[in-house]
Chain A
Amino acid sequence: MATQHSITIKAGGSEKDYWKDLWLNKQLLWILSKRDLSVRYKQTLLGVAWSVLRPLMTMTVMVFVYSYVAKIKADPGIPYPLMVLGGLTIWTFFANTFTQISNSILINHNLVSKVYFPRLLMPLSSVAVGFVDFLITFGIYLLVTAFFQTPISWQIIFLPCFILLTFITSMGFGLFFAVLNVRFRDIGQLIPFMVQVGMYVCPVAYPSSLVKGTWYEKYYNLNPLVGIIDGFRWCLLGSKSYFNPQSLYSTVITSSIILVISLIYFRKKENTFVDHI
């Protein structure tokens, strides 16, 4: 609530002041993120170990079900567990941040109704937990890579771009649902379902080379996550991993458009959150 020295309060507010305010409150962003992180595993027996156990167990189950039972093959020259873990790492990052962003306003309702700060801080700070989990999973991925003695390819320098793209995409979808969530509690039911279904729609457990050449390929590539997941694997596993640049274009375009629309929608609604929450 620390604000600059002179403000005008009116319906609509001022766009310029908003972004300035957001910048002025960066310390609060940091503190809110730290809060989310430090309460994460309070009063749990295993604590941070959960962040390690969960991806490992998911990977084990998926390797068993898809590789041994369903006999799905990774792209030639790539160990299936590595492909799954790579896909899982970035998919989980997206799924977690998306879920957390969508719930961020509702979870912080006590703040929304009692104190002012740019509301965008809440979705922004909620990303922290997902990002730390991502780093842990990524660490596990590197260990598994060492186990399979797969060399890390030079494309890894592009990795930050795909992390950024994931962030943009989850923000784009998340902000929109965060606003809807304030008004309609149905969204709370919908999100876990979307995440669950999303994992099958996206190339997490299978390579998207399986989709190559089918009639639905161009629709499939419209999903911004396809470009992200394939690109992420391409960075880690090199050109042996299938990556259609076309899916990347669609990721960049759709994600940016969605983010802009969501931001406008969020800005338009954020000053009246308290009236609906």
Chain B
Amino acid sequence: MSVIVAENISKKYIIDHQRKNGSSGLRDIVSDTVDKWFRKQEKNGFAEKEEFWALQDVNFSIDKGDRIGIVGHNGAGKSTLLKIMSRITEPTTGQIKIDGRIASLLEVGTGFHPELTGRENIFLNGAILGMSKAEIRESFDAIVDFAGVEKFLDTPVKRYSSGMYVRLGFAIAAHLNPEILIVDEVLAVGDTEFQKKCLGKMRDVSESGRTLLFVSHNLTAIQALCNKSFYFEKGRLIDQGDTTHIVTNYLSKVSHKSLEKHWDNIDSAPGNDQVRVKSFKLFPEYQDDLNHIDVRTPINFQFEFWNLVEGASLNLSMHLYTFTGECIFNVGTQAESFSKGLVSGTCEIPGNFLNDGSYVVSMMIVKDTSTVLYNMEEALVFDIEDYRENVTWYGKWPGYIRPQLNFSIRQSEHVVND
């Protein structure tokens, strides 16, 4: 049975290019109107306003008990859809029929007043989220317990640490009992401990047969929680279906990777009069017929360059950086003497070594183990996706690397019962 049916949903925004400060003042409107009267022949006044379709012709239906993950780039229309479904803004065209008590959680602690105490804010926020006073009273202790703020119940929330604030906000939301729950990126906040708690709670919701709509950039969480997914791009729902299929499709489209660079013409190739780069390629050994790299995937690098100086003593040096620029490692080859012609080097990063994330590779050609002949910076960029087995924890795995080490536990002594 469908609990949500959306037909031809579109949402249009008018972007005003002229304004610098977002909201247009009365003065602008008046002067624009006057301008229009006096210069009617000039039509370019209209070009300043541009229509922007945040959502276009979106159709879907969601069955009772479905857990829908929504993926897409920033600006793909995910949040606009949630806003429309939460009735915060209305669609320009189309309609959505919703059957069932709906609650949406677009941020934690909506409407918290900094001057009010934790206790007062529980009632305020609960009421804003649509709980009745009786319901709040009923789950009051559970909320306080979940948030862990017993000691600070009568302290104004402005004195709370940001962690406490978020925990209290989520705790209230977690005790809502809607038939349909809409959640937007709430998990992006808080520490790992807290994220774990949130995901656990959302799992409870999804397992209790309620309908869940979940927008997140945490694909691991989406894969763990959602059975179906929607993929939005530029305001359109371009794909929907089984989560694994959607996530794979999404990953293959969104990554900003450059896995291969090559130059056929020696004269235009990067380099100098001593060396010129021919190619730098990356060959992942894909697992399970997937076409994206995950933490299990071994990655081979192949680098080729033309040596233009007879008898040069050369070696290669490769740096691997995180996307934010921290160097994870630097490896080098032995130096060898080469004659003129093509030289190639290979390197393998084993599977189960790097953590998930985006990585950048640089390659250096070094002469006499001391002089950098050529440094090819940010030569390749690749993403490693998350993959986990037999784990019930979906937060971001910490660390730069994620090696599988010989790490085991065993019983070392038995306590003998008398």
**Chain A bound to chain B:** yes
Instruction: Give B contacts to A, CB under 8 Å.
Output: 13, 23-27, 29, 83-104, 106-107, 110-111, 113, 115-116, 120, 123-124, 127-133, 156
User: B101 contacts which chain A residues (CB < 8 A)?
Assistant: 2-3, 5
Scoring A residues 83 to 124 as 1 if CB is less than 8 Å from chain B, else 0, what string do you get? 000000000000000000000000010111111110000000
Instruction: Give A contacts to B, CB under 8 Å.
Output: 1-3, 5-13, 27-28, 31-32, 35, 38-39, 42-43, 108, 110-117, 183-187, 271-272, 274-276
Q: Contacts A39-B115, A183-B23, A184-B26; is A1 near B130 (CB within 8 Å)? A: yes
Complex Cα–Cα for A232 and B261 (A): 85
> A-B pairs with the 4 shortest C-beta distances?
A2-B130, A10-B95, A116-B87, A1-B130
User: A9 contacts which chain B residues (CB < 8 A)?
Assistant: 84-85, 87, 90-91, 95-98
Q: Contacts A1-B130, A116-B87; is A6 near B99 (CB within 8 Å)? A: yes
Complex Cα–Cα for A42 and B120 (A): 14
Whether A1 pairs with B90 at a CB distance below 8 angstroms is: no
User: A10 contacts which chain B residues (CB < 8 A)?
Assistant: 90-91, 94-96
Can you offer 25 A-B residue contacts whose CB atoms are under 8 A?
Answer: A1-B86, A1-B102, A1-B129, A2-B131, A3-B130, A5-B100, A7-B87, A7-B102, A8-B96, A9-B87, A11-B90, A12-B90, A27-B132, A31-B123, A31-B127, A111-B110, A111-B111, A111-B128, A114-B88, A114-B107, A115-B88, A116-B87, A117-B128, A184-B26, A272-B90
Whether B23 pairs with A185 at a CB distance below 8 angstroms is: yes
Distance of B126 from chain A, by nearest CB (Å): 9
Whether B25 pairs with A184 at a CB distance below 8 angstroms is: yes
Whether B92 pairs with A1 at a CB distance below 8 angstroms is: no
Complex Cα–Cα for A108 and B123 (A): 17
User: B29 contacts which chain A residues (CB < 8 A)?
Assistant: 184
Whether B99 pairs with A35 at a CB distance below 8 angstroms is: no
Complex Cα–Cα for A247 and B241 (A): 68
User: A115 contacts which chain B residues (CB < 8 A)?
Assistant: 86, 88, 104, 106, 110-111, 128-129
Whether A272 pairs with B89 at a CB distance below 8 angstroms is: yes
Complex Cα–Cα for A272 and B96 (A): 17
Whether A27 pairs with B115 at a CB distance below 8 angstroms is: no
Complex Cα–Cα for A114 and B169 (A): 13
Complex Cα–Cα for A1 and B123 (A): 14
Whether A114 pairs with B110 at a CB distance below 8 angstroms is: yes
Distance of B385 from chain A, by nearest CB (Å): 31
Complex Cα–Cα for A8 and B128 (A): 21
Distance of A8 from chain B, by nearest CB (Å): 5
